[in-house]
A and B are shown apart, each in its own frame.
Chain A
Amino acid sequence: MGEAIVVTSGKGGVGKTTTSANIGTVLALQGKKVCLVDTDIGLRNLDVVMGLENRIIYDLVDVAHNRCKLNQALVKDKRFASLSLLPAAQTTDKMSVKPAEMKKIVDALKADFDYIIIDCPAGIERGFQNAVAGADHAIVVTTPEISSVRDADRVIGILEKEKQITPPRLVINRIRQHMIRNGGMLEINEIMDILAIELLGIVQDDDDVISSSNKGEPIAMTPSSKASQAYRNIGRRILGESVPLMVLDDHPGFFHKVKNLLGMR
């Protein structure tokens, strides 16, 4: 029986889709059977980031409304046999799927996959409710900006009320060392003081993330980049390993602080 993890944030454009694609890729690289589920109905793009757009035949809404079998809608990634995608529909709107239908689909996927990674749309309305309906765990993505942290806090408050979901864990995305150093961005400690949940990982702002997404190849496939390393570490932590945070910076003290946040010594 697999585990379903929803990737959410409240605010749009903070990196939910990027995080979903890369976590999925990393877990598949570790030999796990992974299914990515795009719940951003009407604004799907996980298929594009994964480079699987041209192979879509059926979608999530077709499955929910019994127009096809679940298996027929899954797009298999040609690069790894163990990675599949259940794409969102592009032509209908979020209201066309109900949370109960969503939960049924995720439950069915749990029988065949080790990990189901659910990419959540922005907002806290129906699309969000659909995305969390079948989830066992939650990853909240934020950037080091006040508005993003505020929305993450709102979403954490909602997730904490969902009894079937374990306490959410945090990914801080698009960190820019020089901006943090000169006070233009929130520090990781400040974010952790406010959100007060477990830190799963931090990912730098990296131009290669954007160019690799544009090529349809998540950055995690390019081992040399720093962001790729960050996603690999996140993947290992999901698998239960205790991995220290990377030193992002030659700045003394930073690594120590972050180690403390991760509960390491």
Chain B
Amino acid sequence: MSTSISSTSPLVTMKGRKNGFILVLDENCAYPVLLAELKEKLSVNHQLYQEGPPISVKVEAGNRYLSPEHRDELIAVIRSYKSLEVEQIESNVMTRDEFENQEKKEQLISVAQIVRSGQELMIEGNVLLIGDVNPGGTIRATGNVYILGTLRGLACAGFGDNDSKAVVAASIMKPTQLRIGSHVSKLDAVGEQRQQEEGSDSHTIEVAYFDQEQKKIVIGKIQNVMKHRDLSTDFKRNS
């Protein structure tokens, strides 16, 4: 393969930043050429990247479309150096499918029904249920679960994507089980899961979320959870 590196404008530009660097990729050249230049650029400092302290790498592809295979390949090339960690690969361009999937993930679906024993409601995206989830009933969403009613059954947020940032909110929170991403919480004593909160009373919407520090699912008042989780985006799109 020819490695024609233009001396005037490089195809891969490295920009330093805290903890590491950003790789800015040219938007127009052919992908194999780009890949070759990336390999060459990294090999210059191979000693540092193999043996030095951890370095965080962000890739900016601008208006270049990167297929999943290309993304995997870029990650593999960077990761072949022990100290390099890929933080993010950014591209402004996505396929129609990717776009539609993204849309689906971010949508808010409203459903008015009682999810009874033996029934399962599965939603791609976020769900607003107007009604109850009864014992033996299941509600799942790839995003967040909001229940205007009583949750007595099983609720699962961040389903499939293992998104541990997802939340389950309910007017009355009496679940048999909660799942957030891959985390499961059996609520033998729901009280134990509740955060000790100031002025806690039963007339408030409660939210279950995965607490990174405690490494478990906890339940808190919505007002407090909103301080560290931005739930507003779920409701913006449909307004």
Contact = CB atoms under 8 A, between A and B. Distances in A.
A146 B152 CA distance: 13
Interface in B136-161: 136-137, 150, 152
Contacts of B223: none
A194 B136 contact: no
A98 interface: no
A157 B119 contact: yes
A118 B87 CA distance: 65
B206 to A, nearest CB: 18
B164 interface: no
Interface of A: 146, 150-151, 153-154, 156-158, 160, 193-194, 196
Contacts, number: 31
Nearest to A193: B150
18 contacts: A146-B135, A150-B135, A150-B136, A151-B117, A153-B117, A153-B118, A153-B134, A153-B136, A153-B137, A157-B114, A157-B117, A157-B119, A158-B118, A160-B116, A194-B132, A194-B134, A194-B152, A196-B114
B114 A154 contact: no
A153 B116 contact: yes
A194 B137 CA distance: 12
Contacts of B152: 194
Interface in B80-127: 114, 116-119
Interface of B: 114, 116-119, 132, 134-137, 150, 152
Contact of B116 (A146, A156, A193): A156
Given A193-B150, A196-B114, A154 B136 contact: yes
A154 B118 contact: yes
A160 B119 CA distance: 12
A157 B150 contact: no
Most chain B C-beta atoms within 10 Å of own C-beta, residue among A150, A157, A158: A157
Given A153-B118, A194-B135, A196-B132, 14 more contacts: A146-B135, A150-B117, A150-B135, A150-B136, A151-B117, A153-B116, A153-B117, A153-B136, A154-B117, A158-B118, A160-B116, A194-B132, A194-B134, A196-B114
Contacts of B135: 146, 150, 153, 194
Contacts of B114: 157, 196
Contacts of A158: 118
A116 to B, nearest CB: 26
A241 to B, nearest CB: 28
A194 B134 CA distance: 7
B154 to A, nearest CB: 14
A155 to B, nearest CB: 9
B88 to A, nearest CB: 44
Contacts of A156: 116
Contacts of A151: 117
Most chain B C-beta atoms within 10 Å of own C-beta, residue among A146, A151, A196: A196
Nearest to A196: B114
Nearest to B116: A157
A193 B152 CA distance: 11
B118 A157 contact: yes
A151 B119 CA distance: 12
A154 B150 contact: no
A146 to B, nearest CB: 8
B81 to A, nearest CB: 56
Nearest to A194: B134
Most chain A C-beta atoms within 10 Å of own C-beta, residue among B116, B132, B150, B152: B116
Nearest to A152: B117
Nearest to A153: B117
Nearest to B115: A157
